[in-house]
Amino acid sequence: MDAFRSLVQHSRAALGDTLTFVIFTSLADEAGFQPIFHFFKACVKNGWLKAYQIQAKSADTALESTTAKGMLKAHLVEAPAVLAGVWLLWFRRWMSLDNPTPTSFKSFAMQLVGTFLVSETFQYWWHRLEHENSWVYRHVHKKHHEYSKVTPYAANHNAALEVAFTITLPSLVWVHLFRHSFFTFLVWRAWGTFQNVLVHTGYQFPFLPKGTERHDWHHSHNKGNYANWLTIWDVITGTDATYVNWKVRQAEKEDGARQADGVASKAA
Q: Mind listing the pLDDT tens digit for each residue in 247-263?
A: 999 999 988 888 877 76
Domain contains 47: yes
Domain contains 60: yes
- pLDDT value, residue 256: 85
* Structural domain count, the chain: 1
Say if residue 268's pLDDT is above 90: no
Q: Which residues contact 46 (CB under 8 A, 6 or more apart)?
A: none
The pTM is what? Answer: 0.92
Domain contains 260: no
**Per residue in 61-106, pLDDT tens?**
899 999 999 999 999 999 999 999 999 998 888 888 999 999 999 9
CA atoms within 13 A on the CB side of 186: 20
Q: Are 200 and 152 in contact (CB under 8 A)?
A: yes
- Confidence band, pLDDT 50/70/90 cuts, at residue 265: low
Q: Are 19 and 85 in contact (CB under 8 A)?
A: no
Q: Whole-angstrom Cα distance, residue 141 to residue 35?
A: 26
- pLDDT value, residue 267: 62
Q: Are 188 and 174 in contact (CB under 8 A)?
A: yes
Say if residue 176's pLDDT is above 90: no
Domain contains 78: yes
Say if residue 169's pLDDT is above 70: yes
Q: How many CB atoms lie within 10 A of CB 183?
A: 20
Domain contains 208: yes
Say if residue 186's pLDDT is above 80: yes
Say if residue 13's pLDDT is above 70: yes
- pLDDT value, residue 266: 63
Q: Whole-angstrom Cα distance, residue 217 to residue 41?
A: 20
- pLDDT value, residue 93: 86
Backbone φ and ψ for 158, nearest 5 degrees, come out as: -135, 150
Which residues span the domain enclosing 232?
A: 2-237
Q: Read off the DSSP letter of residue 146.
A: G
Report how far apart, in Å, the C-alpha atoms of 105 and of each of 1, 4, 157, 175, 200 are.
Answer: 11, 15, 35, 17, 31
Domain contains 184: yes
- pLDDT value, residue 227: 96
Average pLDDT over the chain reads 93
- pLDDT value, residue 259: 80
Residue 238 buriedness (CB in 10 A; 0-12 / 13-18 / 19+): exposed
Closest of 208, 205, 212 to residue 151, by C-alpha: 212
- pLDDT value, residue 55: 82
Q: Are 238 and 187 in contact (CB under 8 A)?
A: no
Domain contains 252: no
Domain contains 166: yes
Q: Whole-angstrom Cα distance, residue 173 to residue 170?
A: 5
